[in-house]
A and B are shown apart, each in its own frame.
Chain A
Amino acid sequence: MTDLLSVHDVTKVFGGVRAVDGASLSVEEGTITALIGPNGSGKTTLFNIITGYLKADAGRVEFAGRDVTGSDPGRLYREGLSRTFQQARVFPQLTVQENLVVAGGYGWRKLFSSRVGNEDRERAASLLEEFRLDRVADLFASELSYGQRKLLEFAAVLMSAPRLVLLDEPTAGVNPVLIETMERHVRERNAAGITFLIVEHDMTFVMRLCDPVIVLDAGRPIFTGEPSVVQNNALVLDAYLGS
């Protein structure tokens, strides 16, 4: 297995705070890797740097063997690196189906084609069905519950056939039934070849689903290993509970 994503000595400073401090990590292709750590450990900042939303002060990001440091999020998305956000972000003024179509990552020529063409409809239909959103396909996304929005956001980033999906707290604010649903979708998509990097606070979810687990503290990884080992690691316990 090769590394699909690797981060080398990335640093990001906000004023006097070193949010990410010389972090290096890698995500092997085909894995469901977790990125955990206490609040303020730099997980989301690192996500933002990897996906091009923030520029790193130092360091390098490589995706699929190519240096993508500072690349535009849209370009990364079209190249197969996509993400979801901590607070589910969908387009409320678009219908559920349109939310999927707009995420199709289409080129210039397709821009002038029909808003939702037959090809788009077919592409969206299977995802809508898979995520049980088919019955609300024509509703505005603003009319969905928060849990449905989380699912819609996840489904939308799959429209572009990504290679690596970064999920930022996929279970935050959703009920236990939907957590299981989310877990099932991640497993199925992973079996179909998509690699995942997941930031998550729900440890039972992480322990069930992810391997390996990377633990971040004060802006840098302090441990990488199997979930069962992470739970008993003294460094990790210190980071979470304080020594």
Chain B
Amino acid sequence: MRLPSALRGGVFVALLVSMPMLGLQHWFLNLLVFVLMYATMSSAWNLVGGFAGYPSLGHAAFFGIGAYTLALFFKDQVLATGYEPFLLLPVVGLVGALIGWPIALISMRTRADVFAIVTITFLFVVQTLAFNLHDLTGGSQGAALPIPPFAAGQYELPFYYVMVALLLFTMGLTFATMRSKVGLSLVSIRADEDKARGVGVRVIGVKVLAFSVSVGITAMVGAVWAYYESFIYPQFAVDPLITIAMVLMTFLGGRGTLWGPVLGAVILESGQQVLTYQLGAVQLYLIVYALLFLVIILLLPRGILPTIEDRLRQRRRSRRTEAPAAVWPEDPAIPSKADTVTTRGGGAA
């Protein structure tokens, strides 16, 4: 089991690193930068929404916080090499995580739909602040960042590699989470938080930690995006659609899995960009989003990867001659509520 997953990881890294060497056109590299951004953000969202089962709709607020943090830091500055903003990313991540900590402590006292409402409220508060704190954000006139002094022919490359690094960092963190007791605790919280409390799981600490790390990464992506765009406006920096995209991508690929959010981001983000380029209808992707969400709920409630994993497991089991569950034939198979919960995801794909 270890070899294939290591091999899969190795091929993935090699593919990401070597992709720009294939002489890709600018529009394609630009597309890849955005795919990587969304893959990173979906993977980050997955830590809270996937593993802990807390459907945050406020993550875009932290995307904006990251963008404006970088904008404030480099206000009216001229860059020498162009790499300075990238070096500041850990600080941006820390700022996002520190702001996320109290937000998580308050909002995570609620659950499920109420939690979603509390977090989306936070998103709109941050958006309103971004519009109105003119001295800090420039308000609706926007905020300028330093122009990256990269050669026009290779403009996308630094952003591409920084996003590759951020994605690998996030996936590494997800992998470590799945392999540690943090991941075990998060899944128990998603399954039955009250029961988890009762068996000594550090419920509050673990979910607040997951939220802070998740929004810290989101803030870093926001900072890279702001630098890439060079000029940011509140309606784009704190955009509910960014949150919706993270949620959709994670649900499509498979929440609570390592590769699911990445797969979802590749499909949805590239699909959206292709639709925009091909059809010239910028808003058409919103209709496709809505349709996809319906299709996912109807056909793949657990997402692509967990569904495939389930099918494979069922096939393996049907090949076995003796089922282990038959150890106790005398047990009454009284159906319980827990039976219905198995469709909520949690594989290690």
Contact = CB atoms under 8 A, between A and B. Distances in A.
Contacts of A101: 181, 184
B194 A53 contact: yes
A120 B325 CA distance: 23
A42 B51 CA distance: 36
Interface in A42-60: 51, 53
B333 A145 contact: yes
B172 to A, nearest CB: 14
Contacts of A144: 325
Interface of A: 51, 53, 72-74, 77-78, 82-83, 85, 87-94, 98, 101-106, 108, 110-116, 132, 135-136, 139-149, 156-157, 159-160, 173-175, 177-178
Interface string B168-187: 00000000001111111101
B180 A89 contact: no
Given A102-B184, A106-B181, 19 more contacts: A73-B197, A74-B198, A87-B336, A91-B191, A91-B192, A101-B181, A102-B185, A111-B182, A111-B202, A112-B180, A112-B181, A115-B178, A136-B324, A139-B324, A142-B338, A146-B332, A146-B333, A147-B331, A148-B328
> Closest 7 A-B residue pairs measured CB to CB?
A93-B346, A105-B200, A103-B199, A142-B342, A145-B331, A146-B334, A147-B331
A30 to B, nearest CB: 23
A92 B334 contact: no
Contacts of B182: 111-112
Given A115-B179, A139-B324, A145 B185 contact: no
B190 interface: yes
A85 B197 CA distance: 13
Interface of B is mostly: helix
23 contacts: A51-B198, A53-B198, A74-B201, A74-B203, A89-B338, A91-B195, A93-B190, A93-B341, A94-B191, A98-B184, A101-B181, A102-B181, A102-B188, A102-B199, A104-B200, A105-B200, A115-B180, A135-B324, A146-B336, A149-B336, A175-B332, A177-B330, A178-B331
Interface of B: 178-185, 187-188, 190-192, 194-203, 205-206, 256, 324-325, 327-328, 330-339, 341-342, 344-346
Contacts of A73: 194, 197-198
Given A110-B181, A175-B330, A140 B198 contact: no
B186 to A, nearest CB: 10
A92 B199 contact: no
A89 to B, nearest CB: 4
Nearest to A134: B327
Given A105-B200, A136-B327, A146-B331, A115 B184 contact: yes
A179 to B, nearest CB: 11
Contacts of B194: 53, 73
A76 to B, nearest CB: 8
Contact of B187 (A91, A111, A160): A91
